[in-house]
């Protein structure tokens, strides 16, 4: 069944089919596959040439026992964390005994405060009882004081009313005096108005009083008529002066236009000449475009010739220096080199000839194109000159039209000025109208003045009558105030008699009030003492509660410290040591099997009887020759290959035995495993492979003898940098 998987899912599926450990899916490099199935040729000897710590870590990962090291490292991290946490917790509980002592002191203080409260509370209750008795007696006295206050208030009200009535009496007398003076002044003013006009004037003005509206309307019409005539007269003068000024300006403009229009025929002739010269401009421009296109094509052709020439020279140089063919690696003969060089030199000569011919044609075309462009630039300047002349002719044409319009306007203005002059009135007629209006306006003013005096006289008579009525009312008010003052004096006498009877109640109330204030003061002092004791008790209780919670928390922390110390001791003394022992046992078992296989296959592959080897406890090969240890790097090429192959095969066999479930245990791929081997060593390789007893062995080798001990041969050939099966 076909499935679509991501790269990670695909890798996980492959590991599941091969039964590799699932924890290797997340690793970037699969060491089991690298050291059991396939190791590249350049990495065969790498594990032997690395330092011992790197090699040992690699083998731990391959055999799956690096977990013991990780467990120890994680345990060490946990131990450090527990030690830091222990130090932190120890800092929290260092003052536990001090907190317990403080709690005991607070509880003792609380007992003392409770005893003081039990003594003060009965005294406070007795004071409150005496205060209630005093308050009841004061309430009785307060009722008497209320009655006394009402009497005093009533007495004060009577005094206030008497004072108000005296003030009203004085104001009324002043008002009567003022009214008498006002009446005298008004009567004198009335006599003055009667003496201002004679009997004749009064009769004269009275006959016009009924016609005042008609006179005002007549005055208004005459003023409007005069204003209209005056405005028309003024406007006519102003307009006549304005028209004369405008005519003068138009005449000056007319003269200026005549001077400017003298050059119009000359400009029109120049315009026709330039238009004839520019008739062939577009055709000439198209010719230049064609020449530029042809020039570009020649430049491209020259570039191609130069590139081909450079390629031929490069090929000639390369072929002359070439010894072997880069494709087939065969030797290149001198004859072939000479043929190629001769052919390329012939190409170069032909290219040079063609290049010279094209460059000569290009130079001619460039000269012709430059001349044509200069001529086109001259025509463009003439075109700009034509546009300028066209603008000037259009402007002069507009000026000619303006000149004709000004001529017509001058005739119209002359006619209008003559009409205005005939409509202007003489100044004497205006003066006559003005005198009539002034005379009528004076008459109307005098009539209005007479009417105002008559109204003022009538108003004075009415005001005198009102003042006399008000004086009579003031006399009546004065008599009423005198009667009210006699009544208020009787009420005041009665109130003073009642006040004398209740004067002792106020003194007794003040004495009792002072005594009550003293009792209140004593009560407040006792209450403040009790409140202070209660607040102090509450504060101590809060402190006791806080200390109780803190002591409980610190005891819990102390228990945690004890548990952490036990765990820390167990990890350091037992667990980490146990993992080291387990790792040593597993490594020892692997070491014996690995060492035995390595010795067996090393002895088979190395022919020298004076050379022996073994693995130390860090899986490092110890090689001895004639009783002396020698380094792996000092071995010959074949000996290093044999040692690496024996180490590789022993590692492969050991891993497959430890991880017996993996599906690749019967497959191995060897990449150039016999580099530097003699014929005898090649025969021994066959013996080693037979001892491996694997179902499939794939060998990549250039040794032809390897073909003698394999079942099938696949030949690979490289063609043009690509490997192909032959």
Note the pLDDT tens digit of each residue in 49-104: 777 777 777 777 777 777 888 888 898 898 898 888 888 888 877 887 888 888 88
- Beta pairing partners, 625: 611, 628
> What sign does the dihedral 642-644-650-656 (CA atoms) show?
negative
Exposure b/e, 537-570, CB count within 10 A at least 16 = b: beebeebbeebeebbeebeebeeebeebeeebee
* From 208-212, 536-540, 571-575, 626-630, the region with the lowest mean pLDDT: 208-212
Residue 324 gets which letter from DSSP?
A: B
Binned at pLDDT 50, 70 and 90, residue 1 comes out as low
- pLDDT mean across residues, the chain: 76
Look at residue 333 and tell me whether its pLDDT is greater than 60.
Answer: yes
CB neighbours (10 Å) of residue 647?
24
Query: What percent of the chain is modeled with pLDDT above 70?
Result: 73
Token pair, residue 98, equals 């001090």
Q: Tell me which fold the domain 266-401 belongs to.
A: Helix Hairpins (1.10.287)
Do residues 44 and 641 lie in contact, with contact meaning Cβ atoms separated by under 8 Å?
A: yes
* From 107-116, 287-296, 508-517, the region with the lowest mean pLDDT: 508-517
Cα dist from 449 to 16, 66, 201, 453, 589, whole Å: 133, 134, 12, 6, 149
Q: What is the rounded CA–CA span in Å between residue 406 and residue 412?
A: 10
Binned at pLDDT 50, 70 and 90, residue 300 comes out as confident
Do residues 677 and 706 lie in contact, with contact meaning Cβ atoms separated by under 8 Å?
A: no
Average pLDDT over residues 364-377: 80
Q: What is the rounded CA–CA span in Å between residue 113 and residue 123?
A: 16
**pLDDT value at residue 127:** 75
Most confident of the following: 325-334, 437-446, 690-699: 690-699
- pLDDT tens across 406-465, in order? 677 767 767 776 766 655 545 556 566 666 666 666 666 666 666 667 667 677 777 777
Candidates 471, 281, 474; CA nearest to 378 is 281
> What sign does the dihedral 19-24-28-34 (CA atoms) show?
negative
Look at residue 712 and tell me whether its pLDDT is greater than 80.
Answer: yes
Residue 35, classified by CB atoms within 10 Å of its CB into exposed (0-12), middle (13-18) or buried (19+), is buried
Token pair, residue 491, equals 């009420």
3-state helix, strand, coil in the chain (%, to 5): 85, 5, 15
Classify strands 628-630 and 722-725 as parallel, antiparallel or unpaired: unpaired
**pLDDT value at residue 436:** 67
**pLDDT value at residue 229:** 66
Do residues 349 and 310 lie in contact, with contact meaning Cβ atoms separated by under 8 Å?
A: no
Beta-carbon contacts of residue 217 (< 8 Å; ≥ 6 apart): none
**Higher local confidence (pLDDT), 116 or 436:** 116
Binned at pLDDT 50, 70 and 90, residue 200 comes out as very low
Average pLDDT over residues 503-519: 68
- pLDDT tens across 238-263, in order? 766 676 776 777 666 667 766 666 67
**pLDDT value at residue 425:** 46
HSE, side-chain direction, 13 A CA sphere, residue 301: 17
Angle at 430 between CA 427 and CA 433, to 5 degrees: 155
Domain ranges of the chain: 7-75+579-725, 266-401
7-75+579-725 and 266-401: same fold? Answer: no
Backbone angles phi, psi at 442, to 5 degrees: -65, -40
Average pLDDT over residues 138-146: 71
Q: What is the rounded CA–CA span in Å between residue 725 and residue 712?
A: 14
Cα dist from 649 to 581, 605, 611, 711, whole Å: 28, 12, 19, 20
Most confident of the following: 332-341, 400-409, 529-538: 529-538
Alpha-helix residue ranges (DSSP H) falling in 195-263: 199-209, 212-260
* From 177-181, 195-199, 416-420, 661-665, the region with the lowest mean pLDDT: 195-199
Look at residue 303 and tell me whether its pLDDT is greater than 70.
Answer: yes
Look at residue 600 and tell me whether its pLDDT is greater than 50.
Answer: yes
Average pLDDT over residues 343-359: 84
**pLDDT value at residue 128:** 78
Q: Which pTM was predicted?
A: 0.38
Top-tier CATH class for 7-75+579-725: alpha beta
Average pLDDT over residues 486-494: 77
**pLDDT value at residue 548:** 87
**pLDDT value at residue 29:** 58
Backbone angles phi, psi at 180, to 5 degrees: -65, -45
**pLDDT value at residue 182:** 78
Beta-carbon contacts of residue 382 (< 8 Å; ≥ 6 apart): 274, 277, 278
Do residues 226 and 437 lie in contact, with contact meaning Cβ atoms separated by under 8 Å?
A: yes
**pLDDT value at residue 606:** 82
Candidates 654, 726, 664; CA nearest to 21 is 664
Contacts of range 558-564, beta carbons closer than 8 Å, 24 or more positions apart: 558/89, 558/93, 558/96, 560/89, 561/86, 561/89, 561/90, 561/93, 564/82, 564/85, 564/86, 564/89
């Amino acid at each position: 069944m076909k499935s679509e998987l991501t790269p990670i899912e695909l890798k996980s599926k492959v590991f599941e089919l091969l039964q590799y450990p699932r924890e290797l899916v997340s690793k970037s490099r699969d060491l089991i596959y690298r050291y059991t199935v396939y190791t590249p040729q350049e990495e065969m000897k790498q594990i032997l040439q690395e330092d011992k710590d790197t090699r040992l870590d690699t083998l731990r990962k391959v055999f799956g026992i690096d977990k013991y090291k990780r467990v120890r490292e994680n345990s060490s991290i946990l131990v450090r964390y527990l030690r830091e946490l222990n130090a932190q917790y120890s800092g929290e509980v260092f003052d536990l005994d001090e907190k317990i002592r403080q709690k005991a002191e607070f509880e003792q203080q609380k007992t003392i405060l409770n005893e003081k409260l039990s003594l003060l509370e009965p005294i406070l209750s007795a004071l409150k009882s005496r205060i209630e008795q005093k308050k009841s007696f004061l309430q009785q006295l307060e009722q008497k004081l209320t009655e006394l206050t009402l009497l005093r208030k009533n007495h004060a009200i009577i005094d206030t009313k008497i004072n108000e009535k005296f003030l009203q009496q004085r104001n009324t007398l002043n008002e009567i005096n003022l009214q008498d003076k006002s009446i005298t002044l008004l009567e004198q003013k009335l006599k003055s108005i009667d003496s201002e006009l004679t009997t004749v004037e009064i009769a004269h003005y009275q006959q016009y009083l009924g016609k005042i509206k008609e006179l005002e309307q007549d005055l208004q019409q005459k003023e409007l008529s005069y204003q209209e005539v005056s405005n028309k007269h003024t406007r006519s003068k102003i307009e006549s002066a304005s028209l004369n000024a405008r005519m003068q300006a138009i005449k000056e403009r007319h003269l200026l236009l005549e001077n400017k229009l003298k050059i119009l025929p000359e400009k029109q002739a120049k315009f026709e000449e330039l238009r004839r010269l520019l008739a062939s401009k577009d055709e000439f421009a198209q010719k230049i475009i064609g020449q530029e296109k042809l020039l570009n094509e020649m430049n491209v052709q020259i570039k191609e010739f130069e590139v081909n020439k450079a390629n031929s020279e490069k090929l000639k140089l390369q072929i002359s220096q070439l010894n072997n063919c880069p494709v087939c690696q065969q030797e290149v003969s001198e004859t072939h080199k000479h043929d190629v060089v001769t052919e390329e030199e012939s190409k170069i000569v032909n290219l040079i000839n063609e290049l010279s011919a094209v460059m000569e044609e290009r130079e001619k075309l460039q000269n012709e194109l430059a001349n044509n462009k200069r001529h086109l630039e001259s025509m463009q300047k003439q075109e700009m000159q034509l546009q300028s002349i066209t603008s000037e002719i259009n402007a002069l044409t507009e000026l000619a039209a303006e000149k004709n319009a000004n001529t017509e306007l001058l005739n119209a203005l002359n006619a209008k000025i003559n009409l205005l002059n005939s409509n202007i009135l003489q100044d004497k007629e205006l003066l006559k109208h003005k005198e009539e209006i002034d005379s009528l306006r004076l008459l109307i003013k005098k009539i209005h003045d007479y009417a105002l005096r008559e109204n003022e006289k009538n108003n004075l008579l009415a005001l005198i009558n009102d003042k006399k009525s008000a004086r009579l009312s003031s006399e009546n008010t004065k008599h009423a105030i005198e009667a009210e003052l006699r009544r208020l004096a009787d009420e005041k006498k009665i109130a003073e008699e009642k006040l004398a009877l209740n004067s002792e109640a106020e003194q007794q109330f003040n004495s009792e009030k002072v005594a009550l204030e003293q009792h209140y003061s004593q009560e407040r002092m006792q209450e403040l003492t009790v409140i202070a004791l209660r607040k102090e008790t509450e504060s101590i209780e809060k402190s006791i509660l806080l200390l109780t919670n803190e002591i409980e928390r610190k005891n819990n922390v102390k228990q945690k410290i004890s548990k952490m110390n036990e765990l820390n001791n167990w990890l350091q003394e037992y667990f980490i040591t146990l993992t080291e022992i387990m790792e040593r046992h597993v490594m020892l078992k692997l070491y014996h099997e690995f060492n035995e296989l390595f010795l067996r296959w090393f002895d088979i592959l190395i022919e020298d009887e004076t050379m022996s080897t073994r693995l130390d406890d860090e899986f490092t090969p110890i090689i001895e020759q004639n009783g002396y240890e020698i380094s792996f790097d000092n071995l010959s090429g074949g000996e290093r290959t044999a040692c690496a192959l024996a180490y590789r095969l022993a590692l492969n066999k050991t891993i497959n035995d430890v991880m017996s479930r993996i599906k690749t245990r019967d497959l191995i791929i060897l990449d150039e495993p016999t580099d530097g081997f003699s014929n005898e060593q090649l025969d021994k390789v066959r013996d080693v492979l037979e001892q491996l007893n694997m179902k499939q062995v794939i060998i990549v080798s250039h040794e032809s003898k390897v073909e003698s001990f394999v079942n099938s041969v696949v030949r690979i050939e490289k063609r043009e940098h690509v490997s192909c099966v032959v």
